[in-house]
Chains A and B, each alone.
Chain A
Amino acid sequence: MPTSTPSTAAPSSTAGARGTDGYTHYLNKDADQPFYQRVWNWMTTVDHKKIGLMYGVSLAIVFLVAGVLAMLMRMELLSPGPELFANDTYNQLFTMHGVLMVFLFLVPSIPAMLGNFVLPMQLGAKDVAFPRLNLASYYIYVAGGLMTVGAILLGGLDTGWTFYTPYSTDAGGNAVLVMTAALFVTGFSSIFTGLNFIVTIHKMRAPGLTWNRLPLFVWGLYATSIVQVLATPVIGITMILLILERTLSIGIFDPALGGDPILFQHFFWFYSHPAVYIMILPGFGIISELMATFSRQRVYGYTAIALSSVAIALLGFLVWGHHMFVSGQSAVSAIIFSLITYLIGIPSGIKVFNWVATMYKGSIWLQTPMLYSLSFLFLFTIGGLTGIMVGVLAVDVHLHDTYFVVGHFHYVMMGGTVMALFGGLHYWWPKMTGKMYNETLGKIAAALVFVGFNITFFSHLILGSQGMPRRYATYLPRFETLHQISTYGSWVLGGGMFLILGYLLHSMVWGEEATANPWAAPTLEWTHTTPMPDPHNFEHTPIVTRGAYDFHKIEELIPGGDGAGDGAVTEVGVPASGDGASGGDGQQRRRETEQSS
């Protein structure tokens, strides 16, 4: 929330007011002003970096709350009967977990926090194209969040995050009205961000930064933005229709009023399926960045990865019916949706193969961000393959609405998006806060999260294929063992998460000062001093002469100095390669070879 941001995000004013190279860190620029003034400065800032951070703090709160709800659900599921909570309470728990995670966390997460922070810098731009619109999108998001709190205060709702009619037409009282209105409002935040990014990417790239030199994170955000702008209005309209049906009894979805409940599912998934690409595409972008930087290698199949993101974004609009194979839509529709679903699986597969191939002849440095990146490859591959499984028409008849589906989308959303988000957060943390987190704790937490996640959700896959339906407050005794394993896993997972929260907060105050480019990364946001020149990111507009990941050409961009050149690498302790060549990985020799040939 905006008011709490300054005190948590700004490092203590005495310790790090000035960076090692004489620039004032952008977070400390107003350190000598009175507190209320600093709060006001934050609340009215149009700086994309600060807006990104404010989003970050809000998202962290939502993620924490929704995560704790999930832990409570797992506690209840330790035994088959109702132990901890009554049915109604459990149903409200999974509803709020889903609503918060999907609409207020996953959809905005990477674009609004990391995208806002990184995108203009990766483009060599001063800011996003419409800085005020950017701030407006944040406040709209906060308004949506407050309305959600309102819905909870009104007694909460138990419709599930999917709001299927006709249950949602009369269940839940005013809480459902407020919640659906909140989603309508939050949608605008998403649309504004998407619009802003599309214009920024088209119009504000630095000279020489052509489309095929763009960092792949930018490509990911671009594809995401297209989906945000085109799909989000549909969920807004659907929510308005639901509100009209509830308040004015206009028959749209409720058969009792002459409506059609299947229509709601079509509308809902027409947004909510593309929405999973809003969640995952920016994650793909981050993974490309991490694989390149920590393998010190060009991303294999750059063009394939860039264009497959756009292909996924567009095909993503044509597969919503695969959520409805057993809902009563026609068999012909089901068959067509199944076919397109497979076609959309291919580009995702291509990406995974390319990321693995990126490590070939690389120089792999297993820092925390890279561990998350590798976790992503492992977990997302399972998520993708289980996606193929539920896409098989006949098999989906058995697996639909079971824990298999729950497991599948947690592997994709959490194993995919959240792993990418954590990787990106650790990767850009030094740039965002000017501080380094504790690397050892980072690795321990990454391991806990990876292990805990697999225990928690692999058991879901088995439970589901054994026939355990989702959204069950109580269950048949024969599922007890697997449920217990899953719950134990959730404790490991939760432990890892709290460890991350702990050391990241710790690092903001007591962390080591970060250097300009601690990872020897190649993209533009790392080319300048640790604290970015405020407020416009760059002293001079950079001129780009190479592709984003052309490590072998890095010195042509920034000769020597404290930029992304290899000079910075040895200084900050990037381990040298075994053969002792300077530059850490034989790049130097490679360059020499190239020049001589």
Chain B
Amino acid sequence: MNDGGTVWLPESASTLAPTIDSLFYFVYWASVIIFAGVVIAMLYLIWKYRRESHADRMKLVEESRLIEATWIVLPTILVLVVFVWGFRAYIKVGVAPPDAYEIRVTGKQWLWEFEYPDGTSTTGELHVPVDRPVKLVMSSTDVLHSFFVPAFRVKHDVLPNRYTSVWFEATKEGTYKALCTEYCGASHSQMTANVTVQDQGEFESWLKSAGIPSDASPVERGKILYEQQGCNTCHSLDGSEGTGPTWKGLYGHDAQLADGSTVTADANYIRQSILKPGSQIAKGYQNIMPASYGSLSERELTGLVAFIKKQSEKGRAELKAAGATSDSTAAAAADSISTGDEQQQAPSGPPGAMPSAEASNQ
């Protein structure tokens, strides 16, 4: 990963890191000195007063009040210094500057979702501007998690019933790891995210597109994701058999399920099958689709649904028709490709109220 850092501490990339590091090293060196003192005294006494030695043991050892007082008072002073220092730094870590850029973080088993002030949301991928305070307001949808970026020296538990927050001001561009540090079940150790620190300009242009070209329509987005996410390894577009059902002609038709029932493959069925593959298993197929697609954002799902629609007659017709009615469901909003409707990210709001990523294109 990143270079830099010392034997003890990883690379430091936030304004908080030097504060914490200097405190760490103060306690570290104080500890080394105390530890060395204890060990050297031990070794010396073991050698000097080993049973075979001729050391002078004539006088009974009297306890000295002065010595006792010294080794009570000195460590007490030392820890009080450390306490006050640590407490002041803790306050600094705990209180975000009022002008901090706020990003919503949701932890769920086992992924991180990030939502930016403009409504863009990403999964497992946090982008932040450099040299600008960023405050993460965090909550969980299930169990406890904890958001930890070693390079920034920040960490806080993420709870299901309240908001908690961390803040940091990144000082170096680059990619860092965010990790979950509160045990949260089977894939706890895979619950990571990449934190990309960019300069303000790059960050803003990234934000416009959230990684997919900003001029991509939902269907185009879905096409990119179809390859990017590896859907193509199991689901064909030409009707040929794969590990999973083909997408050709899927949308709008009856799907036979393994439990014998039949459902209509509508947008909700597709959405459900992507997010929770095990909940509805198509007849003749095994329950082997990874659950990791639960990490797709709403924007990505919309794209995929639109793309799957495009693969069937019925879906294509619907894409056309729904565009005219300006339906308010996310799936229908994705139809704008064929109608020129610019309202996609916030279908219920007034047109143009939210600068959506697609708005610029038509």
Give A contacts to B, CB under 8 Å: 87-88, 91, 158-160, 164, 166-167, 171, 255-256, 260-262, 295, 297-298, 300-301, 304, 325-328, 331, 334-335, 338-339, 342, 345-346, 349-350, 352-353, 356-357, 359-366, 374, 377-378, 381-382, 385-386, 388-389, 391-395, 397-398, 400-402, 462, 465-467, 469-476, 478, 552, 574-575, 577-579, 584-586, 589-590, 593-594
Contact = CB atoms under 8 A, between A and B. Distances in A.
B287 to A, nearest CB: 17
Nearest to B54: A578
Interface stretch (B85-93, B202-210, B236-244): B85-93
B343 interface: no
A465 B8 contact: yes
B86 to A, nearest CB: 4
Given A166-B160, A342-B80, A466-B5, A394 B10 contact: no
Interface residues of B, number: 84
A353 B34 CA distance: 10
B93 A365 contact: no
A586 B57 contact: yes
B83 interface: yes
Given A378-B42, A578-B54, 13 more contacts: A87-B188, A91-B185, A166-B142, A261-B160, A385-B31, A392-B24, A394-B86, A397-B156, A400-B155, A401-B182, A402-B181, A466-B9, A577-B52
Interface string B140-160: 001110101011011111011
A166 B143 contact: yes
A167 B191 CA distance: 15
A91 B159 CA distance: 21
30 contacts: A88-B186, A91-B183, A91-B188, A160-B183, A167-B144, A167-B184, A256-B160, A300-B61, A328-B162, A328-B164, A334-B90, A349-B75, A350-B72, A364-B50, A377-B38, A381-B35, A382-B35, A392-B23, A393-B90, A394-B86, A394-B92, A394-B93, A400-B146, A401-B148, A469-B180, A471-B188, A474-B189, A578-B53, A590-B58, A593-B58
Interface in B37-67: 38-39, 41-42, 45-46, 49-61, 63, 67
A170 B58 CA distance: 68
A488 B186 CA distance: 26
A167 B80 CA distance: 37
Closest 7 CB pairs of A and B: A467-B150, A394-B89, A255-B161, A393-B90, A472-B189, A392-B86, A385-B31
Contacts of A335: 87, 90
B7 interface: yes
B353 interface: no
A345 B79 contact: yes
A123 B123 CA distance: 65
Given A338-B87, A589-B58, A366 B45 contact: no
A472 B241 CA distance: 38
Contact of B71 (A159, A334, A353, A466): A353
Given A326-B156, A397-B154, A158 B91 contact: no
Contacts of A400: 146, 155, 181
A395 B23 contact: yes
Interface of B: 1, 5, 7-10, 19-20, 23-24, 27-28, 31, 34-35, 38-39, 41-42, 45-46, 49-61, 63, 67-68, 71-72, 75-76, 79-80, 82-83, 85-87, 89-94, 142-144, 146, 148, 150-151, 153-157, 159-162, 164, 177, 179-190
Contacts of A91: 183, 185-186, 188
A398 B153 contact: yes
Nearest to B34: A385
B92 to A, nearest CB: 7
Contacts of A579: 54
B79 A374 contact: no
Contacts of B182: 164, 401
Contacts of A365: 51
A326 B45 contact: no
A158 B189 contact: no
Given A171-B185, A395-B24, A473-B189, A364 B51 contact: yes
Contacts of A398: 20, 24, 150, 153-155
Contacts of B91: 331
A366 B345 CA distance: 76
Given A339-B83, A363-B51, A467-B150, A346 B155 contact: no
